[in-house]
A and B are shown apart, each in its own frame.
Chain A
Amino acid sequence: DAGVTQSPTHLIKTRGQQVTLRCSPKSGHDTVSWYQQALGQGPQFIFQYYEEEERQRGNFPDRFSGHQFPNYSSELNVNALLLGDSALYLCASRPSGTGPLGYTFGSGTRLTVV
């Protein structure tokens, strides 16, 4: 089992552009969450997807949107990129309907906005 897979690992974008990040959850996991980790900070919750719907959202603007596909994979889209969007974006997956379990995290996508 490859665990949680994220792509790409790194990318550089220009201010104002749009970006799409991808995540394949761990086998058997159907709930996917996205986190933004700025340099020197802990991960900050963006949103969570389950059954192809956004179920919860953190304090992020509408420029951040997502999608979940029938195979449980997910995308994070960010429009009108700002310099402050530069961060490590983490995807985490877990099985739904489970008890209090921790998430399995991917290695992240390092986004640099110039």
Chain B
Amino acid sequence: AQRVTQPEKLLSVFKGAPVELKCNYSYSGSPELFWYVQYSRQRLQLLLRHISRESIKGFTADLNKGETSFHLKKPFAQEEDSAMYYCALRGSARQLTFGSGTQLTVLP
């Protein structure tokens, strides 16, 4: 079975502060990990995927297989980063399993 856990439902940081959204997963094989973001009144969209090791909108995420984590980080949060963030895993069955999400609020 595969599971994704996002321990924080709500997270607030001040503009310019670093932000880290936690994601832990449970999967016996080699997973593909993704971060999705949903801005207010917009559809769910892909933010980044671990395999490409890219930085999108200043966000990065490193897959730590030892700790089974895929935390999302940004060194300097911006107000426009306020959104709901979902961590997702795709295993051998090739279906996405989502965490319950973290609502990030960046305060001015």
Contacts and interface: CB of A to CB of B under 8 A. Distances in A.
Most-contacted residue by chain A among B4, B36, B44, B99 (CB, 10 A): B44
B30 to A, nearest CB: 11
Contact of A56 (B6, B34, B94): B94
Interface of A: 3-4, 33, 35, 40-45, 48, 56, 58, 90, 92, 100-108
B95 A102 contact: no
Interface stretch (B14-22, B45-53, B59-67, B70-78): B45-53
Interface of B: 4, 6, 9, 32, 34, 36, 43-46, 49, 51, 86, 88, 90, 93-101
A106 B43 contact: yes
Contacts of B97: 45
Interface SS of A by simple majority: loop
B101 A107 contact: no
B43 A43 contact: no
Contacts of A44: 98
A100 B100 contact: no
B32 to A, nearest CB: 5
25 contacts: A3-B43, A33-B96, A35-B96, A41-B100, A41-B101, A42-B4, A42-B86, A42-B98, A42-B99, A42-B100, A43-B44, A43-B86, A44-B98, A45-B97, A56-B93, A56-B94, A56-B95, A90-B44, A100-B49, A100-B51, A102-B46, A102-B49, A103-B96, A105-B44, A105-B45
B43 A105 contact: yes
B65 to A, nearest CB: 16
Contact of A58 (B32, B36, B95): B95
A35 B46 CA distance: 15
Given A100-B32, A100-B51, 9 more contacts: A4-B43, A33-B96, A42-B6, A43-B86, A45-B97, A48-B94, A56-B93, A104-B46, A106-B43
Contacts of B45: 105
A3 B90 CA distance: 22
